[in-house]
A and B are shown apart, each in its own frame.
Chain A
Amino acid sequence: MDELDLLKKDWKKQDADYPKLTYNEIYKLIHKKSSSVVKWIFIICIAEFLFWGGINLLIPDSYFEIYEKLHLKTIIDFTYILHYAIVIVFIYLFYKNYNAICVIDSTSLLMKNIIKTRKTVNYYVYYNIIMTIILSVIINFIMFSDAKLLVEVFNPDNKPIDADKFFNILLIAQIIGLVVMIGLLWLYYRIIYGILLKKLTDNYKELETLE
């Protein structure tokens, strides 16, 4: 007999062999907490929304005073309003995609919807990074275009300093900050995708190559 037929024969016999759970055991089971990928993605996405949405609130007030002195307040206020409008759009898209995840769909559709939901949040993070970069370029441009004012603001006591050296330090500090931020983000995404989504994306790719 062919091995597959043998397997099928054996497969059909196994029904009687599994332990039957009692009513109470099933009751206990359904009240346990799920550890599904979707649940984790949901938690992580919400955390990302809160992190990027709240990061502005961490900026100390003294910064705003500096911005005000540098005549940057209008541009900062404008970008804040724009930023929160965009955040709301992202939250709506996330909610819409998350709601579309349905465990009764076919395997490939389910995977597609999970990946789509996750991608929405990725775009949200990309948006934040790009926005940060653009904004710092604009602010730097404005700041450095009026060097006298800049030195005044950062050196209110008018201590004797080397202006060139001061600008270099300011610029290098900003670049280091940016590199560290991008490095941390890269690490974070390696972890998220490595641990959480590798299996899912691999399986999805297998289905995609099939079609």
Chain B
Amino acid sequence: MPSADTNAIASDLKLMTAIRSADQTAMAVLYDRYSSIVYSVALRVLRDTGAAEDVLQDIFMQLWRNPGAFDASRGNISAWLAVIARNRAIDALRRRRPENDIEDVVVSVEHDLVSEADRSRAMDRVRGALQVMPAPQRSALEMAYFEGLSHSEIAGKTGEPLGTIKTRIRAGLLALRKVLAA
């Protein structure tokens, strides 16, 4: 009997296949499944519901126009959408043209994120890791990720040397990986 994960993967792949065949109902199902991920990432970055809705609309329209942009071999769809949402929201925040096409984004996640329960478990661990992370480390990581600041901008904002910012960001990422691998 196939597991819940296998069913979820098969279901996502089936949806994407249907969307490639211009099935509008499949697009609605995909939206219902993943719109809250895209919206909440965009809202976290932009802190504006209208702007977050625009990012949401933009991403799902691009996926509709170019469903081949998501290649299952390039990663899990929820992680892929989260990264695209973050990138698009940062572009909107910084009022710049999108730097990457959605099909250029490759995300390699070595954790099960297929079912909602898997995602919830992984998120609890990441949130736990963020809570125990030294405040300057977490702050540097969040400024870079959710505000889209370059390391030199973070250094300018915090008054810390560039090298310190680099080291903190990397240490923060390694701490995340460690807690996920545990």
Are the chains A and B members of one assembly? no
B contact residues vs A (CB 8 Å cutoff): none
